[in-house]
Amino acid sequence: MNVLLIEPYYAGSHRQWADGYAAASGHNVKLLTLSGAHWKWRMHGAAITLSERFKRSEFQPDVVLATDMLDVATFVANCRERLVNVPIVTYFHENQLTYPWSETDKDVKLNRDNHYAFINYTSALVSNRVFFNSKYHQEAFLGALPGFLKQFPDNQNLETLDQIRSKSEVIHLGMDLARLDVLKPEDVKYEKRATILWNHRWEYDKNPEEFFSALREVKNRGWEFNLVVLGESFRESPAVFEEAKIEFDEGILHWGYVDSIEEYAHWLWRSDILPVTSNQDFFGGSVAEAMYCNVKPLIPDRLAYPEHFPDSVRSVFLYQEGELVSKLQRWIKDVNVLRKQQTRSFVEKYDWAIIAKEMDERWFGLKKS
C-alpha cells in the first residue's frame, strides 16, 4: 500500500516521527515535507506549496497521512483530481486550540490567534479519520471545540462536532526506543548521590521555574544531588536556566543540548529522577524516553502523563498539588531503593515495532467517505 505522509514542519520530534514510521512501516511510505521553520507560515502556505509539488510527482497514494501542521482542506482542494477515492487521515501531535500560547506573541496581543485553531478544526472535519497521540489530547481538543465555535457571530456549525468525534481515536506516539537499548552501557554506573534530570525543551510551557524552585527548596533543606540538564535551547529561552546554572553549579554533571543520540542516551542511563513540572504536554516523548532508561519520573497528575502508567502504580509516580518537594526529597534520600525499581515496561508499547504495525493495520479497509 502506498502511504503519502505529509509533514510541513519537518524538524525535531515531527521529523523523528515521520522518519520512524517510514522506516518501520510495512507499507511504501513517501514523505512530502518542508523544513521546520516559520510554523505559522507553514500552517498557512504549506498546503499550496506541497499540493503543487504532489501534482508534479508520479506517486499515487492509497492513503494520505497528514499532520496537524497542514491545512488539509486546502491541500485536498488543490489536488482533488489526484485524490479521488483516496482516504485522508490527520494525525495530531499538537493543536493550536488548547496549546498555551505565549502572552508575548503578537497574534495573541492583537486577538488574531484563532485562525490557526480554525485550520485544525477544518482539517479534522474534512479528514476521513483523525488520530491523536494521547487520550488526553483527544478529549482536550474535542472538549474545547464547542466553546471555540460559539464565539463566532452566527452559523457556528456545532452540528459538525459529532462528525469529528465519531471518526476520532488514539494512536500513541511511535518512538525509536529500541535504539536506547543499543546505547545502554554494559554496567550502568550511578553516582553516589541521586542524579536529577531535565531533558525537555527550554521553553515556558515546560515550566522550568517550578522545576528549579523545587530543587532549590530541597537543597535548602540540606539534601545534596547531582544535576543533568539536557534539551534544546532557543534564543529567547527562559532566564531561569542561566540563573540555575550558577545556583546549582557545584552538582552539575552536564548542562546543555547534546548533538548525538549516543551522548543523550549516556546521560539518561546515568540519571535517577525526572521531576516534571510542565503545563503543557500532549504526550510526553522526553518523559517516555527517560522512563525507558529507567529514570524514575515524578509526574504531575495532569495532562497526558497518567496514561503512561497502569492504575496500580500511579500513586507512586504521580504527585498532587503541593507534593513535589516532599516526594522529591524522599526519593533523593532513598535513591538506592529507587534504583531497583523499573519503569521501562510501562512505555515499551510506544516503540515503533508495535506502533507501526498498529498504524499499518488501520489503513486496510479505510474507505473514502
**Separation of CA 17 from chain center:** 10
Residue 195 shares a structural domain with residue 103: no
Cell numbers that stand for 134 in this block: 494521547
**Residues β-bridged to residue 360:** none
Residue 342 shares a structural domain with residue 359: no
**Lookup result for grid cell 493543536:** 95
Residue 65 lies inside a defined structural domain of this protein: yes
3-class SS of residue 87: coil
Residue 320 shares a structural domain with residue 200: yes
Residue 212 shares a structural domain with residue 324: yes
Residue 12 lies inside a defined structural domain of this protein: yes
Residue 114 shares a structural domain with residue 220: no
330 vs 354: CA distance, rounded Å: 35
| Residue 82 confidence (pLDDT) | 96
38 vs 33: CA distance, rounded Å: 14
| Residue 365 confidence (pLDDT) | 78
Residue 142 sits at the vertex; the CA angle it makes with 141 and 148, to the nearest 5 degrees, is: 80
Residue 152 shares a structural domain with residue 184: no
pTM of the model as a whole: 0.93
Residue 160 shares a structural domain with residue 261: no
| Residue 107 confidence (pLDDT) | 64
Domains in the chain: how many in total?
2
The enclosing domain of 233 has a CATH number of 3.40.50.2000
Contact criterion met (CB below 8 Å) for 225 and 218: yes
- Give the range of the structural domain holding residue 42, as residue numbers without chain letter: 2-174+351-363
Residue 211 lies inside a defined structural domain of this protein: yes
H or E element that contains 10: strand 2-10
Residue 276 lies inside a defined structural domain of this protein: yes
Residue 131 lies inside a defined structural domain of this protein: yes
* pLDDT averaged per 10 residues in sequence order, the chain, 369 residues: 98 96 98 97 98 98 98 98 97 92 60 87 98 99 98 97 98 98 86 97 95 98 98 90 98 97 96 97 97 98 97 97 98 97 97 98 79
Contact criterion met (CB below 8 Å) for 273 and 327: no
**Residues β-bridged to residue 29:** 3
Residue 76 lies inside a defined structural domain of this protein: yes
| Residue 189 confidence (pLDDT) | 80
H or E element that contains 321: none
Residue 159 shares a structural domain with residue 36: yes
Residue 368 lies inside a defined structural domain of this protein: no
353 vs 369: CA distance, rounded Å: 30
Residue 369 lies inside a defined structural domain of this protein: no
3-class SS of residue 257: coil
**Lookup result for grid cell 504527585:** 319
Residue 159 shares a structural domain with residue 218: no
Residue 193 shares a structural domain with residue 162: no
| Residue 234 confidence (pLDDT) | 84
| Residue 41 confidence (pLDDT) | 97
Q: By 3-state DSSP, what share of the chain in percent is helix, strand and coil, each rounded to 5?
A: 50, 15, 35
Residue 165 shares a structural domain with residue 201: no
Residue 101 shares a structural domain with residue 229: no
| Residue 236 confidence (pLDDT) | 84
